[in-house]
Amino acid sequence: MDVGGCPLPEDRLYDLENDVWWKDDPEGGSARVGILGTLAAFAGPFRSLAFRPVEGTLERGRSVATVESVRLTGAVRLPVTAVVVERNHEVARRPRLLNDSPYDLGWVVRVRPVRPQEPGESLETARAVAGRLGERIRAQRIRCWPMTPDIELNEVGLECSAVFARLDEELSPRPPGDAVLLVTDDPTSPIEFVRWTDRTGHTVVAHRKEGPLYQFLVRKEADPKPRRRAP
Partner 1 sequence: MAAYAHPEVLVETDWLQAHLNDPKIRVAEVDYDPAANYEMGHVPGTVLFDWRKDINDPVARDILSGDALTALFARAGVDDDTTLVLYGDFNNWFAAFAFWVFTYYGAKHVKLMNGGRKKWIAEDRPMTKDVPKPAPGQFRAHAPDAALRAYLDDVRKVLPDVKAAKFTLVDVRGPKEFSGEITAPPEYPTEHAQRGGHIPGAKNIPWAQAVKEDGTFKSREELEELYRAKGVTPSHPVITYCRIGERSSHTWFVLTYLLGYPDVRNYDGSWTEWGNLVRTPIEK
Given the rule CB under 8 A, which residues bind partner 1? 42-43, 50, 52, 62-63, 66, 68-75, 140, 151, 153-154, 170
For residue 176, the SS3 value is: coil
Closer of 23 and 180 to partner 1 (Cβ): 180
Closer of 1 and 156 to partner 1 (Cβ): 156
Residue 113 contacts residue 80 (beta carbons within 8 Å): yes
Closer of 74 and 106 to partner 1 (Cβ): 74
From the CB of 27, what's the least distance to partner 1, in Å? 30
From the CB of 63, what's the least distance to partner 1, in Å? 4
Whole-number Å distance between alpha carbons of 15 and 208? 29
Closer of 177 and 190 to partner 1 (Cβ): 177
Whole-number Å distance between alpha carbons of 20 and 9? 12
From the CB of 77, what's the least distance to partner 1, in Å? 9
AA letter at 190? P
From the CB of 115, what's the least distance to partner 1, in Å? 22
H or E segment to which residue 21 belongs:
strand 20-24
What ranges in the chain are assigned the alpha helix state H? 37-43, 89-93, 97-100, 118-122, 126-139, 160-171, 189-200
From the CB of 112, what's the least distance to partner 1, in Å? 20
Closer of 71 and 89 to partner 1 (Cβ): 71
Burial class (CB in 10 A: 0-12, 13-18, 19+), 131: exposed
